[in-house]
Amino acid sequence: MNVLYIGAGFVGVCSAAVAADGGHTALVVDIDEKKVQAFASGDKKRIDDCLSEKGLTDLLITHADRIRFTTSYDDVDVFLDTCDLIFICLPTPEVAETGESDLSYYYAGVEKIALSLALRNNSAQTQYIVIVNKSTVPIDMADETQRVLDSHGVTHVGVVSNPEFLVEGKAIEGSLHPDRIVIGAWTETDFSLLRIFYTRFVDVSETQYIEVNPKEAAAGKLLANYYLFAKLAVCFDVIGRTSESFADIQFESLKKIISSDARIGSWGFHDSLYAGGSCLIKDTRSLAYQLHAVGQDVSLLQETYLANNRQLDLFLARATTEAGIVWKGKKIALLGTAFKRDTNDVRNSPSFHIVEVCQEQQVSQIHIYDPSAMSTFQQRVLPSDQIQYVDSAEMAVNQADIIIIATDWPSFRDISTIVMKQEKKPLIMDGRRLLQEDYAVLRQHGCDIIAVGSPFLPKQV
């Protein structure tokens, strides 16, 4: 099939690469010239610097004959004459912490493609095309999309919802071996076209191929992400707080007891300083906004969001309330700027707030290191006399007064060894419990430790 992707972000590029791997011909259009050139370059480093996602570069290089990137709508107009599906993969960010989705990018993309669709096949519009919402959108967005198409006189077209459930860092693997594919359509014609597109996943035992209507598909995506977010909030604000508040309780022991119940499962038992990223927060807020707009009580959804913020605030405050630290004049090592390991995505990274707090507290220096996401983070947090980006974790922690582990990169487990070689005994703030197995030896070395999921652990010398 010939497939157009509007938007060369995380969703668009990963989806297009997997489509090409499945034998389809993909054209990806985006307004960002630099991004388009990087993805089309065939250069592994340029692609990884633009979007670090395991397996993505290999697919783009291997299937370069079946996937093209462009900024030109002239290319799109030609492609539409034989196009089967158009995947809309545009950002829908939250409007200023209101929960409302900013649909300006989405509407602009739909309006633009509608103009071209009305002119396809020399205005005869003989080629039937399905518009597929990959963007996370409000529940009734399929109807809105159809309204825009109708207003431009577009005919012989369907509108489908096909939400993505990709996990950053595992998006390619998850797309090649999905646990579910959700298709929301109103007609058998549209269902049948999507079955052809996803033919290698239909009637496969390890993949649930689910057909519903577009509103159910859109609602299901929002609700799934809220449910995951709520599990994390319970882990942070209840389970983690319990293990922080009582002596002789290990978070890992509680995790084993609770997750052994098959009804509960193991996902979400990751005590952390914060749940960041682009989806869980935004989708929970969007769901709350939409339910509130129709008169529903959304206090539970709001509390999940607040619990996440509270987790980060309490973690940082413990430096003063438990370790007696005065931040002013201190040298800080901030380890991690990505919102989680295996990605260079910094959206909703806790490190932004950490830097703000450090500046408010008038620390002397902040040395920042991340193995993948520093350049992205640096676009928003500029280097200065106070803020310095360094080339290794060892450089960051050298002579630091406080070490803050903000991202769960496996390489940060070596921090214990680095600290043990130094004369300075920093306060270690482990926001990911990465050093849990070394807490005893670090305390004996003379370090105070604040860790999510543990009471204050003072030095033992």
User: Which are the catalytic amino acids?
Assistant: 279
- Alpha-carbon distance of 135 to 113, in angstroms, equals 15
Q: How many other β-carbons are positioned within 10 Å of the β-carbon of residue 321?
A: 11
**pTM higher than the cut 0.75:** yes
Contact of 397 with 431, CB cutoff 8 Å: no
Which of 373, 455, 376, 363 lies closest to 406, judged by CA? Answer: 373
**Interior CA angle at 356 toward 350 and 357, to 5°?**
90
Contact of 137 with 101, CB cutoff 8 Å: yes
Unique residue bearing structure tokens 């007891």: 257
Unique residue bearing structure tokens 């952390």: 272
Work out the burial of residue 163: count CB atoms within 10 Å of its CB; fewer than 13 is exposed, 13-18 middle, 19 or more buried. Answer: buried
pLDDT of residue 181: 97
Q: Which helix (H) or strand (E) holds 117?
A: helix 104-117
Which of 106, 215, 222, 211 lies closest to 164, judged by CA? Answer: 222
User: Which residue numbers belong to the known binding site for substrate?
Assistant: 165-168, 221, 276, 340
User: Which residue numbers belong to the known binding site?
Assistant: 30, 35, 92, 136, 165-168, 221, 276, 282, 340, 347
Q: Which domains does the chain have, with CATH numbers?
A: 2-212 (3.40.50.720), 220-460 (3.40.50.720)
pLDDT by residue, tens only, the chain of 461 residues: 999 999 999 999 999 999 999 999 999 999 999 999 999 999 999 999 899 899 999 999 999 999 999 999 999 999 999 999 999 999 999 998 899 999 999 999 999 999 999 999 999 999 999 999 999 999 999 999 999 999 999 999 999 999 999 888 899 999 999 999 999 999 999 999 999 999 999 999 999 999 999 999 999 999 999 999 999 999 999 999 999 999 999 999 999 999 999 999 999 998 999 999 989 999 999 999 999 999 999 999 999 999 999 999 999 999 999 999 999 999 999 999 999 999 999 999 999 999 999 999 999 999 999 999 999 999 999 999 999 999 999 999 999 999 999 999 999 999 999 999 999 999 999 999 999 999 999 999 999 999 999 999 999 97
Unique residue bearing structure tokens 């107009």: 77
